[in-house]
Amino acid sequence: MKSLDDLLAEGVAGRRVLLRADLNVPLDGQKITDDGRIRAVLPTITALRDAGARVIVFSHLGRPKGAPDPKYSLEPVAQRLDELLGAPVAFATDTVGPQAQEAVAGVGDGGVVLLENLRFNAGETSKDDAARKAFAQELSNFAGQDGAYVDDAFGAVHRKHASVYDLAQLRPAYAGYLVARELDVLRQLTGEPERPYVVVLGGSKVSDKLGVIDALLPKVDTLLIGGGMCFTFLAAQGHGVGDSLLEQEMIDTCKRLLSEGGDKIVLPTDVVLADDFSADANTKVVPADALEDGWKGLDIGPESVRLFSDKLAGAKTVFWNGPMGVFELAPFAEGTRGVAEAVASVDGLTIVGGGDSAAAVRQLGIEESRFGHISTGGGASLEFLEGKELPGVAALEGA
């Protein structure tokens, strides 16, 4: 796989470089609520600008249906990118149409242009190879005769999309700094991680994490399970879970995992219950085997936080993916906060597996530098750890 440094060594001054970034940030109206993914790609953009490249950035945002939708516009991202770079960022209001063509034609050495949301064009995500390749060719045309392609969108490398998979086969292709760092860190987990190796999994559904549990269970020393998914495991142990989230069809699977994992799998010992899914609900803490009908578990309890923290204390390698509760609501944030603090205190390699976990770190005000690495791609990280081929990575390796 060729790297950004390889491209820079070739020389990029005056050349157009197509940069696939992952700028899929959360928005509240037009306000960006977490700019972590924008910040993550800055080192690659800055290196290209400093070397005199003409940088054409494109990304997706949300899930529009293959047509323009104002609520998914990347315009707020262009404004924030402008602020963070301290340099003008031209914004094209279409993907490959006249506005994009004009913006690309006007970018000078060291300049940056951001194209509108790629998913406004149905070709980006099409299951039809010909339609996808046609859109990739239109993007490729922006590079001119001597342009190159850089993929720094780790959060999208598990998608067989035009800008991730097909475009990498049309131009000289290179891995950006972020993609290279993500792969380097995750390969440490799939190789021979320093032990004890502890994995913390949360989030709502066992079904979303089944593949990674099956892949990691033979490799880890301890697997801590919190979040909504823990209630299906508790049900598999024969406990009632009240009105908590439950995947009935996954109970037998959880029984299998508990049998295979034995003492490796650690579940919460107490739970924060609420009578409503709201910040002003009535709450109480009960043992994990004493959940009541009419109440739902929305966080792990303080005893569970201490238990999980003890299991993490001596770890040398930690991978954490998924919050311990509904951290967005203050009464149910302490489980995630406590576990995050415990992970941050580990004397070893600590990896936060993107998605809601990364959002929680920032929302709860925990210093990001305390972690070894915060991934930008939750789904991509999990699929890599499952051993699946990631189309974007395969395309770069074949370039």
Full domain range(s) for residue 247: 191-386
pLDDT tens per residue across span 326-385: 999 999 999 999 999 999 999 999 999 877 898 899 989 999 999 999 998 888 999 999
d(C-alpha 228, C-alpha 238), whole Å: 17
- Same domain flag for 127 and 261: no
Domain contains 135: yes
Annotated binding site for ATP: which residue ranges?
A: 209, 297, 328, 354-357
Residues classed as catalytic? 37, 205, 355, 379
| Annotated binding-site ranges for substrate | 22-24, 37, 60-63, 119, 159
| Binding site members | 22-24, 37, 60-63, 119, 159, 209, 297, 328, 354-357
Same domain, 115 and 225: no
pLDDT for 377: 86
Q: Are residues 85 and 232 in the same domain?
A: no
Same domain, 277 and 353: yes
What global pTM score does this model have? 0.91
Across the 399 residues of the chain, what is the mean pLDDT of every consecutive 10-residue run? Answer: 98 98 94 93 98 98 94 97 96 97 97 98 97 98 96 96 98 97 93 96 92 94 97 97 96 97 97 96 96 96 98 97 95 97 97 87 92 90 93 93
257 within a domain of the structure (yes/no): yes
